[in-house]
A and B are shown apart, each in its own frame.
Chain A
Amino acid sequence: MLPSIEQLHQSYIQSHTTVTKVVADILATIQSKDKEINSYTEVFGDEALRQAELVDSKLARGEKLGLLEGVPISVKDAILIEGYKATASSRMLEDYTATYDATVITKLKNAGAIFLGKTNLDEFAMGASTENSAFGATLNPADITRVPGGSSGGSAASVAGDMAVISIGSDTGGSIRQPASLTGIVGLKPTYGRVSRFGLIAMASSLDQIGPFAHRVIDTAHILTAIEGKDVMDATSVDLDSSQLLDIEKIKHADVKGMKVGIPKEYFIDGIETDVRQAIDEVIETYKTLGVEFVEVSLPHTEYAVPTYYIIMPAEVSTNLARFDGIRYGLSELQNSQDLQEVYRASRAKGFGNEPLRRIMLGTYVLSSGYYSSYYGKAKQVQNMIRQDFVNVFREVDVIITPTSPHTAFTIGEKVNEPVSMYLEDIFTVATNLAGIPGISVPTLSNSGLPIGFQLMSNHFQEQKLLTLAQAIDNIRYDKFNNQ
């Protein structure tokens, strides 16, 4: 496992290593390992080393170093870094170069982070396995016959495979948490509005949220602190009040005694693999020894979350992806078309893979005249009921615990031709996006076989509670497996 942000920072300032050496070592790992894993779509080798040298010379001059300076980060290829390709793993944007930085990138650049490259995803972030990429599937570093989850599978695999210390991904229905669970790392989806979406290639704008992957919980807290906050370029981003800001020292301390955690009965259903169930039970038992109190709670509209999601999300997808029309940027059949309509139709047919096509078509259908109220209108009503379920439960408890995924990583190709079965991958994760609340996936204490994660959810902007509780298990896990 690569060092954490704080360990890295300490070894830089105490001259135990240099930034250049750390970056060069990771680049060497990428070169030897990523031919097989395929977590990166592009590696910024020379530029990363140049940035590393800049930090080293700063150190040599005796200047003070910020915590994120020299931290090597990978970025999902749906997030724009000026001057580099932003493909969304689609033929549509294969040759597109970003003309500006996403706000999260600006913030991380200002903090001194080093970008290693862009990571693979399911095309336009649509999928749960990273098999839908136009540039080939990403494999799970824990078992290369299996998927890493998705859609941020490249990001998860880059961290799990020690090819990045941190990765930045995006989560619309589980795309950070599910791959984190399947690859054995931590993945945080913040509250909707906490992090600016400016410069994230939009999938479903009312559900999309950018968040970090890391080995350790505390590192996701450090990154969230660096990237959160109001941004004039994203009207849905919010100003955080002081009670919503993270207290890193308190999270590290992980005092969870007296916290109240809900176990939603609708999530502990038949169909959860025995290993997963046992690993979650072990986590719950461990929490109890730390003084956490558990109560059974009910989220009665849980079974409607995935069908609701598969109406609202495609509706927004069909609208957002209308911009890819062969006119201003991206793949264009302009030169091969007779008229304007044909430019649109031919460019879109050639540029979009099967999954974006399915969702654009589905979204077009549910928004079409005559079907709008029976699908989209109804789904928005049910979304409100799902959100209300959570609001009610958070009157009683601080945090909710569930599995992140009903099973461990599945094999490559297993679900690729069964859209509905792939959609059900999101069964435990979509409700948080529909409700706008934060969620985190954390590795359980199980250390045999394939990775298993558990999910914690809290009320809007209550990431402090979420991360504190997550940190408690993270500390135990770290002591158990890495400090022997």
Chain B
Amino acid sequence: MDYDVNSIAKLAHINLSSERNMMLNQDFGNILDYVNTLTSLDLESQTIPTYYIQSLREDIAFDNNPIFSDNIKENIIKEMPLVEDGYLVVKSVLKK
């Protein structure tokens, strides 16, 4: 099996230090060897199960959801790393 720890880290949006790169290179082989025991199973006759494709709930909007307290908006904003005029600040998405 091919894997490149650096490109997986890129997909997962995580910077990897060289120590962690080494650790993962070592662990990944062991873990994948282990989970690869599944390859010994003959699944030709097995249909792909469909029960786990759960029906989606209806999207119902709650006005005044009683579960949330009145000041939930303020409390959520309080948790944001950087706020300006009640808006969440992010880095620009498009380069100038």
**Residues of chain A lying within 8 A (CB to CB) of residue B16:** 349
Q: Is the CB of B12 within 8 A of A364?
A: yes
Bound together, the chains give a CA A258 to CA B90 distance in angstroms of: 65
Q: How does the 8 Å CB contact mask read for B18-51 relative to A, with 1 for contact and 0 for none? A: 0010011001101100111111010100101101
Bound together, the chains give a CA A365 to CA B9 distance in angstroms of: 9
Q: Is the CB of A329 within 8 A of B8?
A: no
- Contact status of A358 and B24, CB under 8 A, knowing A348-B13, A349-B16, A382-B38: yes
Q: Is the CB of A362 within 8 A of B43?
A: no
What's the interface size class on A, roughly?
A: 35 or more
- Shortest CB-to-CB span from B42 to chain A, Å, is 11
**Residues of chain B lying within 8 A (CB to CB) of residue A103:** 67
Q: Is the CB of B15 within 8 A of A346?
A: yes
Q: Is the CB of B38 within 8 A of A362?
A: no
- Shortest CB-to-CB span from B79 to chain A, Å, is 4
Cβ of A225 < 8 Å from any Cβ of B? no
Query: Using a Cβ–Cβ cut-off of 8 Å, how many residues does chain B contribute to the interface with A?
Result: 53
**Residues of chain B lying within 8 A (CB to CB) of residue A330:** 79
Bound together, the chains give a CA A103 to CA B68 distance in angstroms of: 11
**Residues of chain B lying within 8 A (CB to CB) of residue A423:** 31, 34
**Residues of chain A lying within 8 A (CB to CB) of residue B88:** 327-328
**Residues of chain B lying within 8 A (CB to CB) of residue A382:** 38, 41, 43
Q: Is the CB of B38 within 8 A of A308?
A: yes
Q: Is the CB of B34 within 8 A of A307?
A: yes
- Contact status of A339 and B48, CB under 8 A, knowing A304-B41, A365-B8, A419-B27: no
Q: Is the CB of B38 within 8 A of A329?
A: no
Bound together, the chains give a CA A395 to CA B3 distance in angstroms of: 43
Contact surface of B with A, Cβ cutoff 8 Å: 3, 5, 8-9, 11-17, 20, 23-24, 27-28, 30-31, 34-39, 41, 43, 46, 48-49, 51-52, 54, 56-57, 60, 67-69, 72, 75-76, 78-82, 88-93, 95
Q: A100-B67, A361-B9, A364-B12 are in contact. List 8 more A-B contacts (CB 8 A).
A: A206-B52, A307-B35, A329-B76, A348-B13, A365-B28, A368-B11, A381-B48, A383-B49
